[in-house]
Each structure stands twice: as structure tokens, then as C-alpha cells.
Amino acid sequence: MNKQMNPTSNDKKKHGLNYGYVILAAGFLIMTVVSGTQYCFGVFFKPMLNEFGWTRASTSAPFSLNLILTGLFSILAGRLSDRFGPRIVITIGAIIMGSGYLLMSRITNLWELYLSYGIVVAIGASAMYVPLVAMVSRWFSKRRGLMVGICISGVGFGIGIVPPIASQLMISLNWQTSLLILGASSIVLIALLAQFLKAGTETTLSNNNGDKEIHSTVSATGLSFGESAKTSQFWMILISWFFYGFFYQVGMVHIVPYATDQGMSALAAASILTIIGLIGIFGRIILGFVGDRFNNRRTLLFSFMLLGAAFIALSASGAMSILYVFAVLFGFFFGVGILLAPITAEYFGFKELGVITGVIYFGNNLGGAIGPTLAGYLFDLSGNYHLAFISGGLTAILASIFIWLLKPVSSKP
């Protein structure tokens, strides 16, 4: 009786640790649904082109608008999550995002694609990533990179399983009905999973880490957003994430159209996303572990350099073997983006981690907005993806240079 009324520190630690992993699992599954539906855009790309006769640049542009607004509203989502908790923010986001896909299934004009996917889906999706990574970063002070990596590896799992399902649905039904199913499913699944989320209290955070001082450390130390923005390190990380978003989204949006241009069937081309997504699961977990064990900056530097080499190799050869090698390398190393929250916490602390992460994430999405549209324009201009993939390689190298130039912040309050 006394044990139940006054649980021991070991009982509290066990309870906190258990619920931390519940949150981790819910976050993984939410990211699976969000990313899986978002990256179905490449699967629906050619069916929309064929039905409406749009150019690749104009069809890519709503994806770019989506990324800009997702990043912009992620800053607000970080603020709202800090104030009201991630559960209500993500639940509302799920309803808005799913409604966007439902609207997208009814489009007949290009402006409707801008509205449904470019704006409505973006507003809903913005409520997911930043609240989740900030929450997991706070719940796990030890092995932070690994735990964030496990949560965000849901992105790879979603890319691996949802686009092939959507492609199969299009074969059996049509692309409009497939979007209806994706939209309705995303509302139900994400809203249910969000009910398991908790921002974490002083007790739960202390229990989860086995250290009663950890909550005050998490909530009080570090730089504010204004202080962080005055450092060169903040801008170097933001610029590197801008370039990362550029080449990452060039690969994600245009790899399926490129594969079909090379003679692959739509279903076989979608399997390229499956390879990228499933390899990405291991990539995020392993790179998160390596960042924790060795060094976040060096892990980012090495990964960006290899991604640049992969893009340049793809641009130089149209062989199917190179395409699959690219899929493996890209799938493994593009997941290095999970180190955003850990490296942000490392350089600027936890005082305003949500909004700092949100602003850098916006920079990432801004680069991601420019990349696919420019790649589509370069294709329309030249008739091939050679220049588009060269641009991906160059921006990956630039990202590595800015990470290489990073030095420790001189002082923290």
C-alpha cells in the first residue's frame, strides 16, 4: 500500500522510461504516415502530367510551395507545442493535412493543386516534425541522437511502404481514389497516435533519465533564439540545412520520373522509393548512434560529402546499376538530417530549442522548395536530368563546407 502511494525512485524511473518509449513508438508511426503520404507526390506526378498536360516545372511548384509553408508554419508549431503540448497541435494538424489530400483528389486545375497540396497539406504537415523532435530530445538526455534517429526513421519506413501501396491502388483504382484513401487514413491514424503524446513534466523527465536535475537543465540552460541568431554558428547550420533541403528534395521528387524516363515501369520506379525508404530506417538509427558516439559535426560532414558524390555519379551515367547504387547511398545518408535537433541542442542548448529548430527547419524547407522546381525547369530546358543532378551534387558539397567551418559557440549563459 505504501509502495503504491509513495513509489520508489526505481519505480518512478521504470514508469518514466516505459512511457518514454511509448512516445518514441507513437512518434515513429506518426512520421511513417506523414512522410509516406507526403512523398507519394512523386508517384502521382506523372499521372497528373498525363491527365492535365502540365509541364514538369509547373507540377513541381506546388511541392515547393508545400515545403516553404511547412517550414514557415513549423516555427509557429514549435511555439504552440511548447505552450499547449504536442498532442493538441499534432491532432489538429492531422485533420488539416488529411483534408488537404481529400481536396487534392478532386482537382481539375493547377491552382487547385496549389491550394490543396501546396497550402492545406503544408499547414497540417507543419504540426508534425518540430514538435516531435523537440519532445523526444527533451525526454531522452542520453543517447539523444539515437532516439531522435529512431523516431524520425519513421520517415524512411513511410517512404518505403506508402508509395508502393499508393502505386498499387492506382493500378487497381485510379489516382483520385488513391488520394481519398490516403487522406482519410492519415486523419484517423495520426489523430489516434497523437493521444499517446506528452510533452513531459519535471517528474517524468527526471524519471526517464534517472537524474532529478535533468529537467532544470533542459528547461533553463542555453541561448534564446535571439541570442542564437547573433552567432555565426546559427547561420552556418541554417545555410547547410538550406542546401541539404535543396538536394534532398531534388532526389525525392524527381527520382521516380527519372526512373520511368529510363524505361522502368511505374511500379518498378516506385520500388526505388521503397529502397530509399527502407535503407533510410537503418541510416537514421546508425547515423544517430554514430553522432552520439563520436561527433555530430563530423558525421554530417562525411554524409554530405558522400551524398554529393552519389548525385554526381548519377548525373554522369544512366545505367540502371548506378541508379540502384544511388538509391542505397541516398537512402542511407540522407537520413543524417535527424541530427538537426542534437546539433542544435549541442550548440545552443534547450532554452528555446523548439523555435530554433523550427527556424532552421524552415531554411531546410526553403531549399527544398527551390530544388525540385529548379530541377523541373532544368529538365524542361534540356530534356534530361543531367544538370538537375549536378545541382544536387554541388549543393551537397556546399552543405559539407559550411558544416566543416563550424566552431564551438564561445559562451553560453
Is the four-CA dihedral 59, 60, 61, 67 of positive or negative sign?
A: positive
Identify the pLDDT of residue 207.
44
Predicted confidence band of residue 198 (pLDDT cuts 50, 70, 90): confident
Predicted confidence band of residue 199 (pLDDT cuts 50, 70, 90): low
Structural domains of the chain, count: 1
Q: Is residue 217 part of a domain?
A: no
Identify the pLDDT of residue 214.
36
Q: Which of 36, 25, 30 is nearest to 277 (CA)?
A: 36
Q: Is residue 119 part of a domain?
A: yes
Which 8-state DSSP code applies to residue 121?
Answer: I
What are the DSSP calls for 35-101, one per residue? HHHHTTHHHHHHHHHHHH---HHHHHHHHHHHHHHHHHHHHHHHHHHHHH-HHHHHHHHHHHHHHHH
Over the stretch 245-278, which tens digit does the pLDDT of each residue have? 999 889 888 888 888 888 888 778 878 878 887 8
Owning domain of residue 101 = 9-207+222-404
Task: Confirm if 372 and 250 have CB atoms less than 8 A apart.
Answer: yes
Find the mean pLDDT for residues 393-397.
95
Q: Which of 120, 109, 108 is nearest to 66 (CA)?
A: 120
**What CATH number corresponds to the domain at position 156?**
1.20.1250.20
What is the value of pTM for the model shown?
Answer: 0.72
| Cβ neighbours around 68 below 10 Å, total | 18
What are the DSSP calls for 151-220, one per residue? HHHHHHHHHHHHHHHHHHHHHHS-HHHHHHHHHHHHHHHHHHHHTT-----HHHHHHHHT-TTHHHHHHH
Q: Is residue 154 part of a domain?
A: yes
Q: Is residue 413 part of a domain?
A: no
pLDDT for 204 beyond 50? no
Q: Is residue 88 part of a domain?
A: yes
Identify the pLDDT of residue 218.
41
Name 296's Cβ contacts closer than 8 Å, sequence gap at least 6: 145, 339, 342, 343, 346
Q: Is residue 212 part of a domain?
A: no
Over the stretch 143-195, which tens digit does the pLDDT of each residue have? 777 888 788 888 878 877 888 888 888 888 888 888 899 999 999 999 999 99
Q: Is residue 297 part of a domain?
A: yes
pLDDT for 115 beyond 50? yes
β strands within 261-384, DSSP E: none
Identify the pLDDT of residue 411.
55
Q: Is residue 409 part of a domain?
A: no
Which 8-state DSSP code applies to residue 335?
Answer: G
- Cα–Cα distance measured from residue 181 to residue 186, given in angstroms and rounded to the nearest whole number: 9
Cα dihedral 143, 148, 150, 154 in deg (nearest 10): 180
pLDDT for 10 beyond 80? no
